[in-house]
A and B are shown apart, each in its own frame.
Chain A
């Protein structure tokens, strides 16, 4: 029944099958929207956050999805600025992923703040010293850029192309896309960095506090690097997943290998700098604040294994796997490495958010614990569901992978 909207020469499942796939996600989205309503109507007492654990699951996962969504800006940067034309094969998909990650994160943030209607205050009388101000400005601007980048993808739809004005607009928009890619990269550098700076400036939290390099703490640079490293891996991973789910080859294998290689190089630089930063923090920054670093790892749940897992197991190991040409050529290794790299970012953002808050700061305090409420979990699952729905619709009705029609299925 929706054949006329599906791009020509692309094979898509029947509408019934598509509806059966999308329905459970819509139900999950509904549940999440109800949880959001509860939080907005009843207040944040619906969550299990408290005065000690003032940030929780939402901030942690927001940081994670924004890092994973970095694939959009970094792929755009490589394609439009560095002219790596092979990435044309995944740029549309990367833009949709970025849009989902960023809009989802902003939606959750609007529930997470106690007075969402005052969000505009940050623009009206901003505190220019606050990292959160920088995050708010860049995030909103970049979300607009992503929306602009998504427009040509939508306008390329078979039906919409029949409207001449749309066709012209899409053509003109395409010509200025490198400008938006440049703006997007600039904005992304700042907000990815500011999200790291968010923790690095916390002078009262010796676990998170880092020395200032230039005008920002070291976490600012590490967050940019880690996001840029993992973004391509996430694009690789999702492309592979969509290939598996749709049973079609969507891009040529060398595209995925190239994404892996880029991810590997960025990751190895990140791991190196993260190691230097960690050593400096252990030996200088934390002791100077009156908190020897070993005290951060005395609790069994947050032992030194976390450091090992984050830097070696989920950092160095995938970097090596992605950098070795021989290993990279084996699809299973390539995908596993991308998966490990993504897990690394999930771990890093967990450590920076949850471990920072769990650790006591006063000498007579103990470790804090926190378990999210169902409303918190459902709100986040709504974002996942929204992502799946938007991506599925985009995949069905738009050309996310231009190579798909050239590859003989």
Chain B
């Protein structure tokens, strides 16, 4: 286990936007896996909690040139000058040096929301209400993930419960490293069109590493210099141009 912790993995994703149909299964799988409570009745699309959100984007053309794309947006796991880490006044956001995963520690969070202001991807969510599950559904909660209380920030952590499970499995089998197939986040597993590829970007033989360097692969807001570890892929030129454009330009 200790040696696993010392290894320099860099987990990331490549999301193929040409494959994404916008079905939203990844969002549901994410919420179920990570014990995100059903939205409060008064919640709006801006006060609900969705660690992963699929945005529909159109090319703005009329028929027949109209085209649209669905962009699953989650914590981009910034690898450089991670904006949310440096701003948190009480170290509630930390980057795990062994995995590169940006973790959120709700138990330390003050709820000041400075990290949410700092995140350019709007990937951080605040618990505006107490989490509540309809009677009887508490039994469906994932025992590996602690639900968050009202008044703290939360976000995607690449299904931390699954990483722990994979580490435990590796340790039980006497292995120092986790097997690639043992650690797969819920969104990746659930995607019916296999649009999301996940793995260790530091391992150059890995599919995710190869895809992240392939043609037509891009990142959102690369000029900010935050080195996100979520890559997107599209063969459509307008999609890549759109991603490169400044907002309101």
Q: Determine if B31 is an interface residue (Cβ-Cβ < 8 Å).
A: no
| Nearest chain B CB to A201 CB, angstrom units | 7
| Residues of chain A in range 9-62 having any CB-CB distance to chain B below 8 Å | 43-45, 49-55
B89: contacting residue among A133, A203, A356, CB under 8 A: A133
A299 proximity list for chain B (CB < 8 A) = 248
The contact string, 1 if C-beta is below 8 Å from chain A, for chain B 151-174, is 111000000000000000000000
- Is there contact, CB below 8 Å, between B246 and A290? yes
Q: Is the interface of A mostly helix, strand, loop or mixed?
A: loop
A45 proximity list for chain B (CB < 8 A) = 40, 42, 47, 128-129
Q: Determine if A108 is an interface residue (Cβ-Cβ < 8 Å).
A: no
- Is there contact, CB below 8 Å, between A360 and B247? yes
Q: Is the interface of B mostly helix, strand, loop or mixed?
A: loop
| Nearest chain A CB to B35 CB, angstrom units | 18
Q: Determine if B180 is an interface residue (Cβ-Cβ < 8 Å).
A: no
B90, B116, B126, B150: which has the most chain A beta carbons within 10 Å? B90
By size class, the interface of chain B is 35 or more
Q: Determine if B184 is an interface residue (Cβ-Cβ < 8 Å).
A: no
Known contacts: A114-B113, A362-B121. The answer to whether A122 contacts B223 by CB under 8 A is: no
A49 vs B111: C-alpha distance when bound (angstroms): 13
Q: Determine if A198 is an interface residue (Cβ-Cβ < 8 Å).
A: yes
Q: Determine if B95 is an interface residue (Cβ-Cβ < 8 Å).
A: no
A204: contacting residue among B119, B127, B242, CB under 8 A: B119
Q: Determine if B24 is an interface residue (Cβ-Cβ < 8 Å).
A: no
Q: In the complex, identify which listed stretch (B79-87, B137-145, B188-196) lies at the interface while the others stay far away.
A: B79-87
Listed by A's residue number, 24 A-B pairs whose Cβ atoms lie within 8 Å are A44-B111, A113-B112, A115-B110, A121-B108, A121-B110, A125-B91, A126-B89, A127-B86, A127-B89, A127-B91, A130-B88, A201-B87, A203-B81, A203-B118, A204-B83, A204-B121, A206-B224, A291-B246, A291-B247, A298-B248, A359-B248, A360-B248, A363-B247, A364-B55
9 closest pairs, A vs B, by CB? Answer: A114-B111, A114-B151, A204-B120, A290-B223, A50-B46, A54-B113, A54-B116, A132-B89, A361-B120
Q: Give the B-binding residues of A (Cβ under 8 A).
A: 43-45, 49-55, 112-115, 118-119, 121-122, 124-127, 129-133, 136, 198, 201-206, 288-292, 295-296, 298-299, 356-357, 359-367
Instruction: List 6 other contacts, CB 8 Å, given A51-B125, A113-B151, A357-B117.
Output: A49-B113, A115-B151, A133-B89, A205-B118, A292-B246, A295-B247
